[in-house]
Amino acid sequence: MHFRRGEYAEAEASYTKSLQGKETAAALSNRAMVRLKLGKAEACAKDCQRSVDLLLEEDEVGEATSKRDGLLVKTWQRKGTAEMEMKMYREAAASFENALRIEPESRTIREQRKAAVKEMAMIEVKDGEVELRARDFLAKRQRVSIEKKKELETPSPAAIVQTKRKEAMAKEEMKTTTMDIEKVRKAISKLDHDEEEIKTGPIFDKQWKIAATSSEKKCKILRAVRAENITKILAERLTGDLLGDIIVAILTHWITEDYANTSSNDDDDPVNWLTALTKTNRFSMASMLLSGEAKTNARESWNRCVQRLEKNKNMNSVALDRLEHLRANFRL
């Protein structure tokens, strides 16, 4: 009631009192909204992050999942708005990108992300590299748009794209829900075995969540995804944070100094895997949205990997050349 009457200070106090009794994601997100109105951008962003953390810890299904996703979208959007006010444009773009992963058709959030990316184009990073210019980014999007138009050749490309996306999601959900229960249980629990192939996005999400902070287990999950399936599985999932984890996992645990002897099979070649990753729809955006910490970790992992390979430089010369070429694509 306080919020609707424009009594923002009172509304903030009310939500704070409620949170002292019990911390909930909804109350945190609502207080964040109020704090945004009060000009408390930093406090708003902190509330949003805590709300997101709580929501991602939940393991809801059915209608509960829909409600959680709706709150996640609002919370990511509020966090992005607060970060824009603090001139944290990279973080804002990442927040809007996370919201779009759940609600890709939102025109408002797309416009907000576009504004954040434009602001990012004016920022020069400390090591002297200049971030991707807005005009280059927009030109690439325009080329992709033209290519999609040629592929579709229909009076209403947007409608067909939306229909295809919904059909693909429906088919994927149907496959997941109709899988044998025992197979699902094994796919989730057998993280220590490489041979369990991952073929769907939901299974990837569940295993990745179970792997938590274990980079080695994450590498095993990645090895269970065939290179030819990367685009299908990660097309709508690739974010800056996920990309950073992938780089560290593969370069730390998959590419060894004996790479030339152990990666003769194309299906189990980590460099082929990384190459395929660069062809996913969201790769360019994700590589641009790597946080400072994630970028540092990825760069250090890459340097250590190169040092290992150089121990057998003659044997690994081809791999070193390929990695050097890929490094430019990953902006590291």
Q: What is the pLDDT of residues 226-270, one digit of tens each?
A: 988 998 888 788 888 899 999 999 999 998 766 766 554 566 789
Which letter, b or e, does each residue of 85-124 get, where b requires 16 or more Cβ atoms within 10 Å of its Cβ? beebbbbbbbbbbbbbbebeebeebeebbbbbbbbbbeee
Q: What is the pLDDT of residues 144-187, one digit of tens each?
A: 555 555 555 555 555 555 566 656 655 554 454 444 434 434 44
* pLDDT given for residue 286 in this prediction: 87
Cβ burial, residue 320 (10 Å; 0-12/13-18/19+): middle
Rounded Cα distance between 78 and 2, Å, is 19
Residue 76: pLDDT above 90?
Answer: yes
* pLDDT given for residue 125 in this prediction: 46
User: Chain centroid to CA 259: how far?
Assistant: 28
Q: What is the pLDDT of residues 187-203, one digit of tens each?
A: 444 444 444 788 888 88
Rounded Cα distance between 189 and 220, Å, is 12
Percentage with pLDDT > 90 across the chain: 28
* 173 SS3 class: helix
Q: Of the given ranges (81-85, 99-103, 106-110, 257-261), which has the lowest mean pLDDT? A: 257-261
* pLDDT given for residue 193 in this prediction: 43
* pLDDT given for residue 175 in this prediction: 52
* Band of pLDDT at residue 205, cut at 50, 70 and 90: confident
* 153 SS3 class: coil
Distance from the first to the final alpha carbon of the chain: 50
* pLDDT given for residue 285 in this prediction: 86
Residue 54: pLDDT above 70?
Answer: yes
Rounded Cα distance between 239 and 253, Å, is 21
Residue 61: pLDDT above 90?
Answer: no
